[in-house]
Amino acid sequence: MASQIVAVDVDSRSIRLLEINERRVERWASATLDPNTVRDGVVADPEALGAQIRNLVRSSGVRTGQVAASMSGLYSTSQILSLPPQTEREARRAVPGLARDAIPLEDVRLEWQLMPPNETGQEVLIQAIPASLVDTHLAALHSAGINPQIMETKTVALTRAVNRSLAIIVNAEPTSMDVVVVVDGVPKIMRTVAQPRDLPPEELADQVTRIVEQTVNYYLDNHTSLWVPGETPLFLLGSMADHPILVETVKSRLAFPIEPFDPPIEYPPHLPTVQYAVAIGLALELLQDSKDTTAENEVHTGVQPIHLNLIPRTIPWWKPNPPRLLFALGVMAGLALALMLMGAAADASAVTSDLRDEQNVISGRVQILLVGQKERTNQASEVTSYNELIARRGDVTQTFQLLQGLAPSGVEFRSFRLARNSVTVSGEAAGPLEAIALVTNLRNAGETDDNGVFRPFFDSVEYRSVSTGPGSFSITAARVVELARTE
């Protein structure tokens, strides 16, 4: 049975802790974060966040054991790829390259998982998030004295917590909203949308219904599977889920019946489960690693087991067993025999090879000097190129925030890629006019020094560079003037 389990869920406003022992909730606690500790889903002050987590652990009496932690999915992207029928070995060899091609972003944590195969082939779920955000979040947890075994986005934890093969999941928080569309036990769409702080209840309700409608329409436009809205339950979760105006608006405007959230664990009746849904999903991931077969079967009913751990992997130490021990003994015996033979041969030829050895030593030293000189030259060139590229790109988060500020109403970005000589942005638009308005904003921004990172790309981008599809757009522009370094 799994030992003490603690889930740590952090958003821009609060910290939530949940302690589970033998599939029963023992303790839970929450605290409001100090302002500016986490901004727009990004940990701005790891030391301050670590101190606040540590204080909450001490004051609540939560006993840390195995730990699972959440991350905002605001800057993550996910996709479902379809593979033709093939063996599992062939699929595992092919997926890493396919995942990189599908999400061609640099400096990201890229995770993927094969779904169970069927008669038509096999699906693979891939997810990427900037590595710098993962490292900063881990630094905050380590500062709190916590070494998590698992860290995943809130959307993955929510999928596991709801545990349905067909569902729409909405997690409404004060500054963000997560939406997951689960079909055939697989999260086909996982997205996180930022929203203004302190929205009035009416505006929040309108935002929730609009995003759900947009997400569902996007899924229907891109999939041919039969889906009856009236038979698809909607789970309304998060700290804002209980607001009466939000609940009534969702009921009146959406065709999906709202279903109560009943997680597959034991919990006291006064636990606000909708507020701790992410934490419950995190804990269930650690429970899936338990050797208790009954618990494992309960967790796996409905949704497919999802394992997208964002913590960088370490190579486990070699675990011996009888076949491996026999193999190791054979290898050592072979090495010993080889060394004996090599020693005998060396003794026989030592006198005749002295001059040849000296010549080889001198030649080797010359080659080392030449290689070292070439490496230093290459390194200097690479450092210069890297510094120039960084000066052009700026911080990933700042760049993405700049793009968001240029988006007109009806446009939402899904990804962007800034290269040496080109920049590409893609997302969803309500229609061609909104996409054209985006190009106009980008062109206008490119003509100002304040947006120097985009100026060489967009100050003369043409409208024909916009390609529109069913609710999506992609804009690619080449650098048209020499990039000036921004101070």
What percentage of residues in the chain have a pLDDT greater than 70?
67
**pLDDT tens-digit readout, 142-166:** 999 999 999 999 999 999 999 999 9
Residue 486 is assigned to a structural domain of this protein = no
Same domain, 404 and 426: yes
Task: Compute the distance between CA of residue 445 and CA of residue 221 in angstroms, rounded to an integer.
Answer: 32
Same domain, 434 and 453: yes
Phi-psi region of 41 (alpha: psi -120 to 50; beta: other; left: phi over 0): left
Task: Compute the distance between CA of residue 27 and CA of residue 60 in angstroms, rounded to an integer.
Answer: 8
Task: Please report, for residues 409, 446, 450, 454, 463, the alpha-carbon distance to residue 443 in angstroms, rounded to integers and kept in the order given.
Answer: 17, 5, 13, 9, 10
Q: Residue 323 has what pLDDT?
A: 58
Residue 276 has pLDDT above 90, yes or no: yes
Domain boundary among 235, 270, 300: 300
Same domain, 156 and 277: yes
Residue 17 forms beta bridges with which residues?
Answer: 8, 29
Cβ-proximal residues to 288 (8 Å cutoff; 6+ apart), any chain: 296, 299, 300, 305
Say how many Å lie between the first and final Cα of the chain, rounded.
57
Report the Cα 42 to chain-centroid distance in Å: 13
Same domain, 337 and 412: no
Task: Compute the distance between CA of residue 225 and CA of residue 119 in angstroms, rounded to an integer.
Answer: 15
Residue 483 is assigned to a structural domain of this protein = no
- Count of domains for the chain: 3
CA-nearest of 269, 290, 272 to 5 is 290
Same domain, 127 and 259: yes
Same domain, 230 and 358: no
**129-165 core/surface letters (b: 16 or more CB in 10 A; e: else):** bbbbbbebbbebbebbebebebbbbbbbbbbbbbbbe
Give the pLDDT band of residue 325 (cuts 50, 70, 90).
Answer: low
Same domain, 147 and 292: yes
- In order, the DSSP letters of 150-200 are EEEEHHHHHHHHH--SSEEEEEE-SSEEEEEEEETTEEEEEEEEE--TT--
CA-nearest of 475, 425, 481 to 456 is 481
Same domain, 329 and 292: no
Residue 13 is assigned to a structural domain of this protein = yes
Who wins on pLDDT, 367 or 300? 367
Answer for the pair 6, 66: CB distance below 8 angstroms, yes or no: yes
Q: What is the pTM for the complete model shown?
A: 0.65
Residue 317 is assigned to a structural domain of this protein = no
Say which residue the tokens 């929730």 belong to.
208
Residue 311 is assigned to a structural domain of this protein = no
Say which residue the tokens 């055939």 belong to.
184
Answer for the pair 136, 122: CB distance below 8 angstroms, yes or no: no
Give the pLDDT band of residue 428 (cuts 50, 70, 90).
Answer: confident
Residue 472 has pLDDT above 90, yes or no: no
Is 376 strand, coil or helix? helix
Same domain, 271 and 142: yes
User: Of 25-34, 65-74, 440-449, 455-464, which range is least confident?
Assistant: 455-464
Same domain, 358 and 411: no
- Domain containing 161 equals 5-300
| CATH number of the domain where residue 230 is located | 3.30.420.380
Residue 155 is assigned to a structural domain of this protein = yes
Domain boundary among 270, 300, 330: 300
Same domain, 52 and 189: yes
| CATH number of the domain where residue 462 is located | 3.30.1360
Same domain, 337 and 414: no
- Amino acid of residue 169: I
Domain boundary among 300, 332, 363: 300
Task: Please report, for residues 143, 394, 429, 457, 480, the alpha-carbon distance to residue 477 in angstroms, rounded to integers and kept in the order given.
Answer: 42, 18, 18, 6, 9
Residue 347 has pLDDT above 70, yes or no: no
Residue 18 is assigned to a structural domain of this protein = yes
CA-nearest of 143, 123, 23 to 81 is 123
Is 131 strand, coil or helix? helix
**pLDDT tens-digit readout, 220-251:** 888 766 666 678 999 999 999 989 999 999 99
| Beta carbons within 10 angstroms of residue 68's beta carbon | 25
Residue 485 is assigned to a structural domain of this protein = no
